Amino acid sequence: MGRGRRRGGPARRVLLLGGIGAVLGVAVAQQNGSGDAWWRGPVASKPRKPGELDHKGASWTAASEANWRRADRPDDYRVDRVVIHVVQGSFPVALKVFKDPKHKAAAHYVVRKDGHIAQMVRELDVAYHSGNRSWNQRSIGIEHEGFVHRKSSFTDAMYAASARLTADICRRYGIPIDRQHIVGHVEVPGADHTDPGPYWDWPRYLRLVRAARAGLDREAEAAAARTEPAG
């Protein structure tokens, strides 16, 4: 989500310090997929329960319905990307603006510095997080508390929790763990954002995601073995 320094210019932020969210323009809303009336129609049919989680390590806090749209992913849109964001602000600020219907944007998850994860949009739904309609449809967005030009923002606990989340997403959707499928917001076509910025340690992050995925696979194998009938 965040915007950092580009070509030596001043830092620009989507989230304003003090908890005030920037109101996005009509063009951005349309690019995100929120500007067309039909886009808000009752297109989803999968059963839903209030507060239901996709990642068991998260807690639920709902984004405004103006900042995402109902869908039936992956049945209607294939999910094959994870987009990494940095808030350019605090965890509470991220939650506040994603709950604000005027903000017109939200991510599926927000990761706090201590590793706590809030889920704000169901994965089967399309969150307006990338600024690109087709990428919104195909991806899951993960925000991280902090600032792109503060290396201290990215703690060990944050990396570990985020990696477990991404590994879980990749396992469930069959997404390869590589830099073509796990990308930064800055890499989304047409994006004018710079997050996660120069201090996000991509080699370390991918190592952690792969290790977490291996752990999830071992857990699944052990669970399957426990449920097999005795031969």
Antiparallel, parallel or unpaired: β 20-21 and 15-16: antiparallel
Residue 32's pLDDT is what? 63
pLDDT, tens only, 146-156: 999 999 999 99
Which of 3-7, 58-62, 105-109, 222-226 shows the lowest per-residue confidence on average (mean pLDDT)? 3-7
- For residue 54, name the pLDDT band (cuts at 50, 70, 90): very high
Cβ atoms < 10 Å from Cβ of 72:
13
- Please tell me the distance from the alpha carbon of residue 113 to that of residue 91, in angstroms, as a whole number: 8
- Please tell me the distance from the alpha carbon of residue 21 to that of residue 16, in angstroms, as a whole number: 6
pLDDT, tens only, 34-49: 544 334 444 567 888 8
Q: Which residue has the higher pLDDT, 118 or 223?
A: 118
pLDDT over 60 (residue 5): no
Which runs of E-coded beta strand occur in 61-151?
Answer: 68-69, 81-84, 109-111, 117-119, 126-127, 139-144
Considering the entire predicted model, what is its pTM? Answer: 0.84
Residue 144: helix, strand or coil by DSSP?
A: strand
Which of 24-28, 134-138, 154-158 shows the lowest per-residue confidence on average (mean pLDDT)? 24-28
pLDDT, tens only, 63-95: 999 999 999 999 999 999 999 999 999 999 999
DSSP one-letter string for 47-86: ---TT--SSTTEEE-PPPGGGEE---TTTSS---EEEE--
Residue 230's pLDDT is what? 61
Residue 197: helix, strand or coil by DSSP?
A: coil
pLDDT, tens only, 102-137: 999 999 999 999 999 999 999 999 999 999 999 999
- Please tell me the distance from the alpha carbon of residue 65 to that of residue 100, in angstroms, as a whole number: 9
